[in-house]
Amino acid sequence: MDAIRGTAKAELTAPVEAFLADLHARVSKVTGGSPADYIPELGKVDPSLFGIAIATVDGQIYEVGDTDVPFTIQSVSKPFMYGHALQRHGRPTVLKHVGVEPTGEAFNSIVLDEVANRPFNPMVNAGAIAVAEMMPGDTQEQRIGNMLDLFSSLAGRRLGIDEAVFRSELETGHRNRAIAYMMLNTAMIERDPNEVLDLYFRQCSVNVSCCDLAIMAATLANDGTNPLTGKAVFDAQYVRDMLTVMNSCGMYDYAGEWAYEVGMPAKSGVSGCIIAVMPGQIGICVYSPPIDTQGNSVRGIRVCQEISSEFELHAF
């Protein structure tokens, strides 16, 4: 991938796009997994949708397949909300409410760190809910507005919420409600859980495209500055923290094998999207709804393995 940066774009575009087109064609044959259906709305998606997008830190975008189809961002929202909390409140405050340790527990575990009584990390639901409470704003309307501003500045365009998915999450999210009350019980969150969850479910329901997420990932690769708009969203020091927890906790129970096989900081969402970041170079997004039992897009993992191998992007 060093080639991408060291070569004139005209020369480069063709071979990268050819590689992506070939990769897309090959991985299109990969079957297995099925779209998430724990929320009725998510189950209605066309499972054959499949897009790959790569955004470079100098604003170049390479894409193939269904890269403009909207889908909900789901858990890929977590690292960005975490970065925003760090940016607004600083590390010490955020660390009081959520740790940075990987956990063997499932992503939707209700178990908290027994010593510090806080969620293990911001990538599990409990941690993400604690982070959602930190979104500034005097009213719920303001907090929703601030959240949408964040994701819009990351995508470089105005984003909105998929109301049907949001309502579906709201109606069925009993486990998250249990987690929120458990944290209220230990004073890990302090506001009304219903209000905090309202924001959390909305953040998960933000509509994005594969290209949007590639640009968001490239913003992290670019030390926090959106390479398309030039807007500085996060300070570099907080980008490092975001990449660190993505690296250790971004792929649910597959984190260890992902580090072994792919070796890039990443985050996946149950809508079938995965983002991966090669710091200083590129942001990647793959979108393909069928997910495996661990909640990761089946084709998404395959694509990231091949890109990592082809361009030698493994961290070590």
Nearer to a second copy, 47 or 279 (CB): 279
| Residue 89 makes contact with a second copy by CB under 8 A | no
Residue 159 CA to residue 156 CA, distance in Å, equals 9
Q: Which residues have C-beta within 8 Å of that of residue 200, sequence separation ≥ 6?
A: 128, 129, 132, 176
Out of 64, 78, 168, 297, the active site residue is: 78
Phi, psi of 164 (to 5 degrees): -65, -45
200 classed as catalytic: yes
Helical ranges in the chain per DSSP H: 2-6, 9-27, 77-89, 91-97, 125-132, 140-155, 163-172, 174-185, 193-204, 210-221, 236-249, 255-261, 298-310
Burial of 108 (0-12, 13-18, 19+ CB in 10 A): middle
Closest alpha carbon to 298 in 280, 277, 272: 272
One-character DSSP codes across 22-62: HHHHHHTT----B---SSGGGGGS-TT--EEEEEETTS-EE
- 111 residue type, one letter: V
196 classed as catalytic: no
Task: Candidates 6, 104, 139, 141: give the one binding a second copy (CB under 8 A).
Answer: 104
248 classed as catalytic: no
Please list, residue by residue across 230-249, b when 16 or more beta carbons sit within 10 angstroms of its beta carbon and e when fewer do. eeebbeeebbbbbbebbbbb
Out of 200, 238, 254, 287, the active site residue is: 200
- Size of residue set near a second copy by CB under 8 A: 41
Nearest approach, Cβ of 201 to a second copy (angstroms)?
Answer: 14
Nearest approach, Cβ of 247 to a second copy (angstroms)?
Answer: 7
82 classed as catalytic: no
Task: Candidates 157, 167, 191, 240: give the one binding a second copy (CB under 8 A).
Answer: 240
Closest alpha carbon to 156 in 104, 208, 89, 101: 208
Q: Which residues have C-beta within 8 Å of that of residue 259, sequence separation ≥ 6?
A: 247, 248, 315
Task: Candidates 50, 62, 82, 120: give the one binding a second copy (CB under 8 A).
Answer: 120
Nearest approach, Cβ of 110 to a second copy (angstroms)?
Answer: 6
Nearer to a second copy, 21 or 116 (CB): 116
Nearest approach, Cβ of 64 to a second copy (angstroms)?
Answer: 28
9 classed as catalytic: no
Nearer to a second copy, 68 or 101 (CB): 101
Nearer to a second copy, 5 or 240 (CB): 240
Nearer to a second copy, 302 or 314 (CB): 314
Out of 16, 27, 75, 131, the active site residue is: 75
| Residue 244 makes contact with a second copy by CB under 8 A | yes
163-192 residues near a second copy, rule: CB under 8 A: 174-175, 177-182, 184-185
Contact residues: a second copy, CB under 8 A: 99-105, 110, 120-121, 174-175, 177-182, 184-185, 193, 239-241, 243-245, 247-248, 253, 255-257, 259-260, 263, 265, 279, 314-316
Q: Which residues belong to the active site?
A: 75, 78, 200, 252, 270
